[in-house]
Chain A
């Protein structure tokens, strides 16, 4: 337990020490929120969608959770390359402990990031329906964070260097975000897009989160929580398995 804790703590310390990274990663969600939120707001209202900021903000919060989480996981490549991983791998501890410590740390960091973006959306005019449900919302953030940190870790476990990073961003992370219903409602869209969205775990994270914050849902919170938890457990296992097989 202490081993998981110290590796968790390491991730947290590293996060709070890189102030430029925190501020840098807040720029993107704010830009998206302002550009899309105000840019499409009028059209969205005309199409009788209601207030677009209310719809968009949960999606943008989850976007920053997704990006931070994937990046936290993929950071494992740097540890691999700069040797710190060897220090942990040669120690008499179970690899599962190392993997869990790192992943929980990364997920916590992504959760904090999500909460900061949530606070920023309030400044832009986003309103939460029921404040008492906020803890449930943060639970959704944490599960999504855990899922994608594990995914990042799984990817980093099989990659040798950062050269594949751009490809992962363009062919995995961006599609996960853009096809998830973060930016547009999932009803009334072409069938192929709806099918893709159904296979995108982030869709369920955003849907449940949206239900909790602004009472709008497509799948329903029960399905959201079930699918999301199952996928998270699956990816966490896959991540542990691949981590176990790393040779230094």
Chain B
């Protein structure tokens, strides 16, 4: 049935370069409406860069992208209206309370006032933060911040939800709880889910189709069964390792990491 659906994400020959380094190297794939799509790969493989291009935040070198029938380069507004996103890095305002972060998001996405109040309460209760909604986000633990970001990404009920390593740093209970909820809205509302993760069992359990990217290229894609068959392995983890090798990837500390360290020192001093 899914195969009859239209492609809600369509990517053709997409390339992104940073100076001499080719982060995304001529990738082509599509995601069908209502599908749960896992985009896997080792650190630095090009996952986040791809997501940034799909979500209008980064300009590609060349290639075509269609999101919900719109081009992210020419119809930014229409594309931005189509998706919600949970970024890999935190993107909350820590000087505001959880409730204020949610309200700001609701206003940015032009949600009607009554719906806003109702949905915010529902989602904050869902991620177990309702009792602490008036606390400043800077006093939240890492896991609480993550939960808040997920609640925020779901707030405006987007057609496509991008989740860039959404469960990083969450305990198994919360991860389970969250994926069940995402699966439920996927089934109920037909929301398309595009996610990345390093937890192979998450992709195994929830994804309809999986693409594996390495060194900026898609090395394999298909259903779980197809990937296992292709690599003659019995689990996704083995398939992943057989496709991407077992060398450990180094990611250079970016200026962002330096800033974070600086800010932490700064905060402590105050």
Contacts and interface: CB of A to CB of B under 8 A. Distances in A.
A88 interface: yes
A105 to B, nearest CB: 13
Given A6-B108, A13-B100, A90-B57, A82 B81 contact: no
Contacts, number: 86
B11 interface: no
B173 interface: no
A111 to B, nearest CB: 20
B177 interface: no
Interface in B101-125: 103-105, 107-110
Contacts of A88: 108
Contact of A247 (B59, B85, B93): B59
A17 B95 contact: yes
Contacts of A46: none
Interface string A62-92: 0000000000000000110111111111111
A14 interface: yes
A6 B107 contact: yes
Contact of B80 (A17, A18, A92, A248): A92
B91 A86 contact: yes
B255 A160 contact: yes
Contact of A248 (B57, B94, B103): B57
B93 A81 contact: no
A225 to B, nearest CB: 35
A82 B109 contact: no
A247 B52 CA distance: 9
18 contacts: A2-B107, A3-B108, A6-B104, A6-B108, A14-B95, A18-B95, A81-B259, A81-B260, A82-B260, A83-B90, A83-B91, A84-B91, A87-B92, A87-B93, A87-B108, A91-B108, A161-B258, A247-B57
Interface of B: 52, 55-59, 77, 80-81, 83, 85, 87, 89-96, 100, 103-105, 107-110, 255-256, 258-260, 262-263, 270
Interface of A: 2-3, 6-7, 10, 13-14, 17-18, 20, 78-79, 81-94, 160-162, 247-248
Given A6-B107, A10-B104, A91-B105, 15 more contacts: A3-B107, A6-B104, A78-B263, A79-B93, A81-B260, A83-B90, A84-B93, A87-B87, A87-B92, A87-B105, A90-B85, A92-B77, A92-B108, A160-B255, A162-B259
